[in-house]
Structure 1
Amino acid sequence: MLHRNKVYRQSNLLRLIDWKISLKLNNINQYDTLFEDHYLQLFRIKICCNELPTCVNLKKRKPDLYDEDWRCNFCKIEEETFNHFWKCSKIQNVVQDILKRLKIFLAKIIQKYSRDNIDTQELKGKINELGMWDIGCLYDFTFLMKNQVSCQLIELLKCYKITEEKLLYKVLKQITGRVLLEFKVLIWEPRNELQIKEEK
């Protein structure tokens, strides 16, 4: 098994993800011609395969250019990995902002597509109870960037009668796309700007 798949050796994690839905989300529409969609799909694949050019990966690929002194572009202390971004002390305000915005987005999208009259406070409470907000736990919201959707999130959507297959996938694509875009714009792109400055 590839080292990047080590996390999936945990049977407890495997039970938390709805694999049938997650695999279907990863199907690429061959008729989709938007460059932006392809770019985001490529970005998602790099995250899934642990191929983002983080400092850790750059040191492996080009040790002659990136020596052991290269660290996280934000904190300059820890090794820079995809997982580190979510725990990095220098960008915790950004991470918390992403979490807050994602919860708001989730509430809005459920309200938009649900066939029920919704008690907004109850919905927000149920969203806050999702286990995926605890970064670093077995399954957290970062798995959504890989189109790996938790059974718990699926149950929440079904609870609000978002059950019809086409609608469910439409909603999930919007949710996973939103998480990916938030990471790309608020963390990855600023990180790249810092990396460019360091390389000069």
Structure 2
Amino acid sequence: MNDPIIHVLVAPTTFSRSPRNLLSNYVVIAKTETTGYPTRNAKVFAAYLPITLSTTWSYATSLALQYLDNSLPAPLIALPFPDTGCNVVSPILPSSTCSLYTDGSFHHATDISPPSMACAWLALDDDEFILESSSSSLPSCFSSALRSEISAVLLGLKALSPGSSVTIATDCAQLISLWARLKLMRQPNYLLWLSIRHLLDSSNLRVKLIKVPAHSDDALNARVDNLAQAAHLSSQPTFSPMALYYVPCLLTFNSLPIDMNIRHFLRSIGDALVTVSQIKGFASHNNGHPEFWIFRIKLLLDMLPTLTTLQQRKPYLYSPDWLCPQCNTAPEDINHLWICPYILPELNPCLTHRKEVTKFRDDCITAFSSSRTLPDSFDEEFSALDCWNYITPSASCLWLTRGLLPTHLTDFLKKYFPLSVIYKVISPLLNDFQLELYGEIWLCRNVLFHAWEESQGISASSKSKTKDSPSSHSSIISPHHHNSSLA
């Protein structure tokens, strides 16, 4: 007979910052026997049948903790997710294993690459002979240096034979300080910690942690560090984050495990919803500048109706061979808007963009310099950042133009200011910068673009029709019809 599964459903009709009103999700618990749980008014019994309880978050948490405290010796649940991926299989180490060296590696996100994590371990016997080693890249979920260190310990423990007694050497002091913490649910990566605790209990492992100096002359620590670093270059992991967990219950959001302080996670969801509501407010007609805010949002998300975008949306109206209507030298994508060499007495997008980037940079220097006393080298170092390279322009300059702050810009400013001050200073200046681009480049470009569309026989009515519309066939471009540039 199959084990019963109790689904504790947190499903209020509205969302607020109160912990009693939360987004829908499940706490899934497998039981191996008939069990009664107290509710507000009665008891609900699980007799090998799935039962769904609609309840508050505090009650769902209490229910999960009650099961955790009981710590039944039954096997852990098989997660009811179809996309959990393959399990992380580690070699079983011999009983002669007496020590493990573990290390994690974390690479921060850059302008051209996402964050990445990797980990490695070495297994040694009494004579410090290396019995086995392993390294792996990790799924980039809740990426952090600490998470990679905890994962290294977890994967090392999974490879041990039952009843082993080992000493784990690590250069992560924070890992050792958190090892004995009892309130794991309040810690980030608590699912990893619960998995470690389960392995210790179920496999009867006796583990002692010791601190080794980082980047010292310890050859074994240096070797495991090199293994972890090299794992970044390997292919991405073929397993999902859930394959790492050995826990009796699991909270997920959008099919991903919630492996951080639950209250902090829910608060971040609330903040995200507030941000979305503010963005919607920017585009409302009560804002005063609805068109500009719509422009900012579409610029950020690469949704502006450039010719390249229109060629993808309506290829039967806009030939894929057409280039920028203004210069006829390159495809008109979102980046070409700022480097187009088209020249009119009142419009030169390339020179306008360079002028506004320079003004934005100088305004930032003035604003930050007035906030506090800065070293004499600040102006020169700030101006030398790659995001101000408007000549090419650089990739980070193009990202900044769209409203995304490059990592190297914030890292430089964090030497002198907290993030709250950085955002407070840059936000209005970025707004002014994009407002000038909107007025001096985008609106002027639209006037010329609409004139070009008319010259191609593309009318407003033809753009509102789909390709399959009977009356749209007369508007479909002819293979002999080429664009005549406005240049």
Give the TM-score taking structure 2 as reference length: 0.32
Say which of 418, 423, 426 aligns to 1:163.
418
8 Å CA contact 2:387, 2:396 repeated in 1 = yes
Say which of 159, 164, 180 aligns to 2:434.
180
How do residues 14-25 of structure 1 correspond to structure 2 at under 5 angstroms? 14=113
Q: CA RMSD, aligned part only?
A: 3.2
1:198–1:147 Cα change, 3 Å: closer
Residue 72 of structure 1: aligned partner: 324
1:68–1:81 Cα change, 3 Å: same
How do residues 47-126 of structure 1 correspond to structure 2 at under 5 angstroms? 47-68=299-320, 70-90=322-342, 91-112=349-370, 114-116=371-373, 119=376, 122-126=377-381
What SS does the corresponding residue of 2:436 show, helix, strand or coil?
Answer: helix
8 Å CA contact 1:71, 1:78 repeated in 2 = yes
Higher relative CO (CA 8 A, sep ≥ 6), structure 1 or 2? 1
1:106–1:12 Cα change, 3 Å: closer
What SS does the corresponding residue of 1:27 show, helix, strand or coil?
Answer: helix
Give the TM-score taking structure 1 as reference length: 0.70
Moved over 4 A (4+): none
C-alpha distance in structure 1 between counterparts of 2:399 and 2:429, whole Å: 12
Residue 410 of structure 2: aligned partner: 154
Residue 239 of structure 2: aligned partner: none
Instruction: Give 1 or 2: higher helix fraction.
Output: 1
Instruction: Give 1 or 2: higher strand fraction.
Output: 2
Deviation digits for residues 36-73 of structure 1, max 9, x if unmatched? 2x544432331233211101112222334323464313
Give the letter for the 1:130 counterpart: L
8 Å CA contact 2:111, 2:396 repeated in 1 = no
8 Å CA contact 1:71, 1:77 repeated in 2 = yes
Deviation digits for residues 52-95 of structure 1, max 9, x if unmatched? 11011122223343234643133122110011223323333222
The alignment-based identity, stated in percent, is 24
Is residue 2:449 matched to residue 1:195?
Answer: yes
8 Å CA contact 1:44, 1:145 repeated in 2 = no
Q: Which has the larger radius of gyration?
A: 2
8 Å CA contact 1:110, 1:157 repeated in 2 = no
Give the letter for the 2:409 counterpart: L
Please list every run of 5 or more consecutive structure 1 residues that lacks an aligned counterpart in the other structure.
1-9, 17-22
1:74–1:104 Cα change, 3 Å: farther
Is residue 2:298 matched to residue 1:43?
Answer: no
Deviation digits for residues 121-153 of structure 1, max 9, x if unmatched? x3431222101123454x422322444212322
Residue 132 of structure 1: aligned partner: 387
8 Å CA contact 2:358, 2:388 repeated in 1 = no
Please list every run of 5 or more consecutive structure 2 residues that lacks an aligned counterpart in the other structure.
1-108, 116-270, 343-348, 455-487
State the Cα distance separating 1:192 from its structure 2 match.
0.6
Say which of 243, 255, 275 aligns to 1:27.
275
